[in-house]
């Protein structure tokens, strides 16, 4: 996801910005830029490429001034290129800004501004904010122009803005995307994450959703979007840079599991309108994916089948040998990286046979974006850990957005946050499982893809053999492997599947198996050895609550066994060979 930084003080701003952006590189990006303010006005330098290369090629360090903002861009709207890189100007070059997030109503605002004569130089949703502020400056001073403009935005944002007429301040706002103030002596900082500022200060003030801040050399003021003053607590951290890049967590995987409560809002903001119409117009839908993405695809196939569609999920590498797509087939290709070789080969096969392609990916400009007829972006930001966590949750979110109204998913962030609070009990269960030789996962209905994904996470980072099954399949062979002490993890929410999965749990217990249930069903609780409690929520949304503890369980078993969960042996993040 994009990284932003702002500085105001006595140092050379360009130096602080470049060093800070280098410490945000772990977030992933495709382009970089800075804007510096001085008595001559605002100057922007930006382009596609790395911080090190672009900063040298464009002479970032030659910019004079003690106030500036910088940005590393992870493309969401518009391809990676100089025009789409941040910072952005308005028409008069009176406003410059950097933005992290997704503006859902940008097309509506862009049409309104274009009708008033505004000219745009990029394909981004971010640029319209600068023009919106420019328009508001016709009647208001900078602060009120700022808060009135952001009040019109729908979506997520972390914003830093500099006005040519007020270079003694940096304006900041947060809604759904992280933004943190760094407090120095005679200088102030603001960035997406602490690593960008850690060389200069250890004191930070995390902004909350709806906060607006004004930074000067001497301090900061925080208000709500109506201009009413609010107070936020400062924190002092004792981290080194490596710890800070992981948000204070020991591993990227744990950070990314915890980040899901925030990034889910970015995915909810993605535009699925065209994709939804495409799905509605087809009866036959083939879904192709690999690994974790296949499990998300399988759940999508279940959701579509329940809605009356003829939907099937295929392992992408087998698709050309099994399926017979034609011009009446919609193929949904799910690939986090957009470069998964088996998926791309299956897409080529589908194209050759006349099928339409809907691509779901996390990476703008990847191969799948050039092969698909319609695209949906996950907006999950880069994932550093090899084992997919937040990108799987993002894929689930897109699957649900394609089937249900967005309003149904409004509580996902809270569901995830509630499950993250179960960390202590999950650690205790991990101690019980760390020496196991085999672990089995079972579920029923919509819970089966979650069982598959839980099993995959478990074995790929713990190196313990694991398999997953629909619970009814236990008695068709797998019970022969259930001996005293063998753990079975049951995904058993309080829905219509609970009464059936209780029978499978009892069969397991009768053979000495140890049952860990992810459940909120009182009868399941009675027959289980260990419990991870689910909240009482909309039954359709149980998968979002179930996957979080399974990710945490895999993580803690892995570290208890002395493994590095960020870099599991023999595995790679993006599989670009068949």
Active site residues per annotation: 2, 573
Q: Structure tokens of 540?
A: 């359709």
- The CA-based angle 2-273-381, given to 5 degrees, is 15
**DSSP string for 189-229:** EEESSGGGTTTT-SEEEE--TT-EEEEETTEEEEE-TTS-B
Tell me how far apart the alpha carbons of residues 542 and 501 are, in angstroms, rounded to a whole number: 15
Residue whose tokens read 């392609």: 357
Tell me how far apart the alpha carbons of residues 191 and 7 are, in angstroms, rounded to a whole number: 9
294 Cβ contact partners less than 8 Å away, ≥ 6 residues apart: 313, 315, 316, 334
Dihedral of CA atoms 474, 477, 480, 485 in degrees, nearest 10, equals: -30
DSSP state of 87: P
Cβ burial of 382 (10 Å; 0-12, 13-18, 19+) is middle
Find out whether 150 and 221 touch, Cβ atoms under 8 Å.
Answer: no
User: Strand order of the sheet with strand 514-519?
Assistant: 465-470, 438-443, 487-492, 514-519, 530-533
Tell me how far apart the alpha carbons of residues 83 and 99 are, in angstroms, rounded to a whole number: 15
167 Cβ contact partners less than 8 Å away, ≥ 6 residues apart: 37, 38, 65, 67
Tell me how far apart the alpha carbons of residues 274 and 294 are, in angstroms, rounded to a whole number: 22
Identify the sign of the CA torsion 217, 219, 223, 228: negative
Which contiguous run of DSSP H or E holds residue 526? Answer: helix 522-527
User: Within 10 A of 247 (CB to CB), how many other CB atoms are there?
Assistant: 17
Identify the sign of the CA torsion 89, 44, 82, 154: negative
User: Strand order of the sheet with strand 310-315?
Assistant: 310-315, 284-289, 329-335, 356-361, 374-377
């Amino acid at each position: 996801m994009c990284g932003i930084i702002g500085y105001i003080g006595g140092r050379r701003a360009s130096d602080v910005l470049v060093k800070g952006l280098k410490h945000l590189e772990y977030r992933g990006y495709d382009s970089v830029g800075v804007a510096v303010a001085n008595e001559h006005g605002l100057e922007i330098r930006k382009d596609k490429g790395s911080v090190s290369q672009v900063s040298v090629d464009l002479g970032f360090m030659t910019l004079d001034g003690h106030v500036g903002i910088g940005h590393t861009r992870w493309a969401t709207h518009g391809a990676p290129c100089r025009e789409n890189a941040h910072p952005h100007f308005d028409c008069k070059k009176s406003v410059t800004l950097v933005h992290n997030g997704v503006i859902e109503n940008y097309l509506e605002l862009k049409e309104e501004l274009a009708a008033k004569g505004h000219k745009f130089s990029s394909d981004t949703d971010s640029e319209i904010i600068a023009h919106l502020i420019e328009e508001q400056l016709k009647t208001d001073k900078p602060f009120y122009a700022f808060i009135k403009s952001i009040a019109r935005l729908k979506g997520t944002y972390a914003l830093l803005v500099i006005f040519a007429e007020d270079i003694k301040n940096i304006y900041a706002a947060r809604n759904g995307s992280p933004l943190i103030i760094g407090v120095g002596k005679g200088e102030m900082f603001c960035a997406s994450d602490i690593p960008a500022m850690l060389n200069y200060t250890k004191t930070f003030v995390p902004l909350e959703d709806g906060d607006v801040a004004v930074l000067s050399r001497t301090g900061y003021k925080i208000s709500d979007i109506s201009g009413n003053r609010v107070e936020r607590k400062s924190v002092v951290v004792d981290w080194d840079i490596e710890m800070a890049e992981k948000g204070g967590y020991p591993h990227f995987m744990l950070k990314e599991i915890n980040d899901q409560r925030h990034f889910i809002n970015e995915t909810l903001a993605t535009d699925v309108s065209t994709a939804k119409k495409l799905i509605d117009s087809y009866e036959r839908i083939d879904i192709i994916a690999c690994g974790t993405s296949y499990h998300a695809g399988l759940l999508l196939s279940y959701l579509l089948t329940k809605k009356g569609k003829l939907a099937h999920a295929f392992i992408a590498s087998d698709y050309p040998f099994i399926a017979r797509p034609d011009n009446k087939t919609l193929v949904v290709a799910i690939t986090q990286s957009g470069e998964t070789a088996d998926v791309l080969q299956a897409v080529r096969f589908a194209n050759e046979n006349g099928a339409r392609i809907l691509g779901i990916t996390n990476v703008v400009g990847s191969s799948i974006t050039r092969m698909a007829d319609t695209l949906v972006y996950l907006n999950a930001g880069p994932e550093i850990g090899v084992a997919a966590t937040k990108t799987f949750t993002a894929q689930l979110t897109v699957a649900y957005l394609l089937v249900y109204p967005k309003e149904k998913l409004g509580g996902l962030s809270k569901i995830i946050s509630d499950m993250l609070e179960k960390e202590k009990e999950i650690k205790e269960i991990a101690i019980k499982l760390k020496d196991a030789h085999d672990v089995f996962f079972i579920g029923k209905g919509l819970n089966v893809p979650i069982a598959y994904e839980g099993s995959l996470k478990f074995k790929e980072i713990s190196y313990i053999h694991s398999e997953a099954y629909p619970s009814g399949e236990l008695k068709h062979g797998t019970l022969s492997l259930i001996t005293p002490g063998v753990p079975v993890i049951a995904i058993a929410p309080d829905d219509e599947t609970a009464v059936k999965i209780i029978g499978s749990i009892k069969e397991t217990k009768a053979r000495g198996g140890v049952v860990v249930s992810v459940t909120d069903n009182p009868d399941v609780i009675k027959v289980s050895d260990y419990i991870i409690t689910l909240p009482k929520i909309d039954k359709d949304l149980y998968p979002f609550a179930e996957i979080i503890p399974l990710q945490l369980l895999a993580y803690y078993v892995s570290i208890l066994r002395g493994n590095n969960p960020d870099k599991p042996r023999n595995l790679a993040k993006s599989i670009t060979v068949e």
